Amino acid sequence: MRTIYILLPAMLLTTTIFSQEKIGYQMPPQPLADLIDAAPTPSVSVSPDDHWLLLLERPGLPSIEEVAQEELRLAGLRINPATNGQSRTSHYIHIRIKSMDNLQERPIAGLPDNARISSVAWSPDSRHFAFLNTAGNGIELWVADAATATAKRMTGAVVNQAMRTRPYSWFSDGQHIIYRHIDPRRGSRPQKPSIPTGPVVQTSEGMAAPVRTYQDMLRNPFDEKLFAYYTTSQLMVLNLQTGVSRPFGEKGIFRTVSPSPDGSYVLLTKIKQPFSYIVPYYRFASETTIYNRNGEPVRQIADLPAAENLPKGFNAVPTGPRSFTWRADRPASLYWVEARDGGDPKKKADVRDQMFFLNAPFKGQPKEALTFGLRYGGVTWGTGTQAIAYEWWRADRREVTRLWQPDNLFVQPQTLFDRSYE
C-alpha cells in the first residue's frame, strides 16, 4: 500500500507535464489538406463593351499570418494599420484576360510578386482596368492595358482603403482616375495616453428614441483620433498618359466620391465632427457637395446631423436628403430621395418617399419627381422616356417594380410587378 501512495503523485505530476506540452499547429492528413487548399473557381469581370473577360484567380484560404495581423475596430470599420486598408479582405493572386472575339486567353504580364489584388474596375471605354495591390507597407494603384495584357503600377503604397467603398473611380474619358491618397501630412500614429484624461460622459436629454446596437463603435477621444488618422484622405486625380497625380480639393473623410457621367463634376460626401459613439461611420454627420473638375465647390446639396434618433423599425430612415446618385442617362443630373413620412415606418402614409432632380449647372430649386408608396429601393436608368423604379417594404416582404418616364412626369407610371420578394 505504501508503494501505491508513492507512485500516485509521480503519475499525476507526469500527466500534468504532458498536458502543458506545446505542440503548435498540426497539419491534417494530406487528402484533407489538398481539399482545403484547392483553388476556388475564378471570379470573372466583363468589360463594358463585352469584348473582354477577366479571370480573377483566388487563393484557397487566408494564411495564419494574415488573420493574426493587428486590427483596429473603429466606428463600424475594421482597419489594418499596417496597410491603412480593410482587415481580412478577400483578394486575388493572378489575372488572365480572354478576348470574347477570338477566345484567345493570356495572363496579365507585369503583376507584382506575391500579388494581393482587389477592387478591380474597368474603364468606361474598356481599354484599361484598374486594381489595387496590397503590399506589406500599404496599398498601391495599378492599371492594366487590355489590348497588350500588361499591368503597370501607378502609385506607391499610398492609397487609403480604410472605408468599405472602393477608394478610386474612373472618369468617363477613361484617361483619369480619382483616388483617395493617405493624408501626406498626417504624421505618426496617435499614441494612447498612459493616464486617462477623464470619464466619457453621454447624456440622454431631449427626445426619447430607440437606438440599435452596433459593433465596434468609437468609445473615447483616443478612438476618435485613430479614426480620423486612418480615414482622412487627400483626393488625387491620376492622368494615365503622364502618370502624374494632382490634388483635388481639400483633404477630408470621404464617404462618397462619384464623378458625373460626363466627367465635368464630382459628388463628394464628407463626414464631419463631432463623431458619434452610438452609430457607425455611415450615420455620422455629413455634408454632400458638388465640385467642378478643378476641385472647386459648385453647390452644397445637404448638411446633415448624425442619424442617432431614427424611429424604430427596419424601414426607418433619416429625414432629409439621402441616396444621392447621378442619373446614368444624363450628362450631369443628380437625384436623391427624401422621406415624406418622417422616416417612421409605423406612421401611416400614402407617400413614403419623394424623388428629386437637380440638373447642371445646379442652380435654382430641385424638381420634384417620382413618389413612392413604399420605401425607395433604387432605379435602373434607360432613357428619358423609360426607366425602372423599385420600392419595398420589410414588414410584409413586398416589392413593387414600376416603369416610368423621367422626362415626362405627367405620364402615370406602369406597375410591372407587385410581389413578395421571399
Note the pLDDT tens digit of each residue in 30-51: 988 888 888 889 999 999 999 9
pLDDT at 6 over 60: no
Q: Is residue 75 part of a domain?
A: no
What's residue 248's pLDDT?
98
What's residue 37's pLDDT?
81
Contact 40, 61 (CB under 8 A): no
Instruction: Give the pLDDT band of residue 291 (cuts 50, 70, 90).
Output: very high
Instruction: Give the pLDDT band of residue 166 (cuts 50, 70, 90).
Output: very high
Q: Is residue 216 part of a domain?
A: no
Q: Is residue 397 part of a domain?
A: yes
Q: What is the mean pLDDT of residues 299-314?
A: 94
Q: Is residue 318 part of a domain?
A: yes
Distance CA 44, CA 102 (A): 18
Q: Is residue 407 part of a domain?
A: yes
Domain total of the chain? 1
Average pLDDT, the chain: 92
Instruction: Give the pLDDT band of residue 346 (cuts 50, 70, 90).
Output: very high
Contact 95, 54 (CB under 8 A): yes
Instruction: Give the pLDDT band of residue 204 (cuts 50, 70, 90).
Output: low
Q: Locate 77 and state its grid cell.
A: 470599420
Instruction: Give the pLDDT band of residue 270 (cuts 50, 70, 90).
Output: very high
pLDDT at 205 over 80: no
C-alpha distances out from residue 377 to 267, 310, 337, 344, 408, Å: 21, 18, 10, 16, 21
pLDDT digits (tens, 9 = 90+) for 114-123: 999 999 999 9
Instruction: Give the pLDDT band of residue 341 (cuts 50, 70, 90).
Output: very high
- The answer to which of 36-40, 187-191, 274-278 has the lowest mean pLDDT is 36-40
List all residues 6 or more positions away from 181 whose beta carbon is below 8 Å from its beta carbon: 155, 158, 159, 160, 233, 234, 235, 236, 245
Query: Within 217-303, where are the H helices?
Result: 221-231
Sheet order of strands, 333-339 included: 321-326, 333-339, 353-359, 367-372
pLDDT at 401 over 50: yes
User: Considering only CA atoms, which of 357, 359, 417 is closest in space to residue 388?
Assistant: 417
pLDDT at 1 over 60: no
Instruction: Give the pLDDT band of residue 206 (cuts 50, 70, 90).
Output: low
Q: Is residue 333 part of a domain?
A: yes
Cell 496597410 belongs to: 83
pLDDT digits (tens, 9 = 90+) for 85-139: 999 888 999 999 999 999 999 999 999 999 999 999 999 999 999 999 999 999 9
Instruction: Give the pLDDT band of residue 61 (cuts 50, 70, 90).
Output: confident
Q: Is residue 340 part of a domain?
A: yes
What's residue 13's pLDDT?
47
- The answer to which of 17-31, 226-240, 249-263 has the lowest mean pLDDT is 17-31
* Per-residue buried b or exposed e for 271-286, using 16+ beta carbons within 10 Å of the residue's own CB: beeebbbebbbbbbbb
**Domain membership of residue 419 as a residue range:** 313-422
Q: What is the mean pLDDT of residues 393-414?
A: 96
Q: Is residue 284 part of a domain?
A: no
C-alpha distances out from residue 214 to 76, 239, 277, Å: 7, 40, 10
- The answer to which of 37-46, 226-235, 347-356 has the lowest mean pLDDT is 37-46
In this structure, how many other beta carbons lie within 10 angstroms of the beta carbon of residue 178? 23
C-alpha distances out from residue 276 to 78, 81, 271, 305, Å: 17, 22, 11, 10
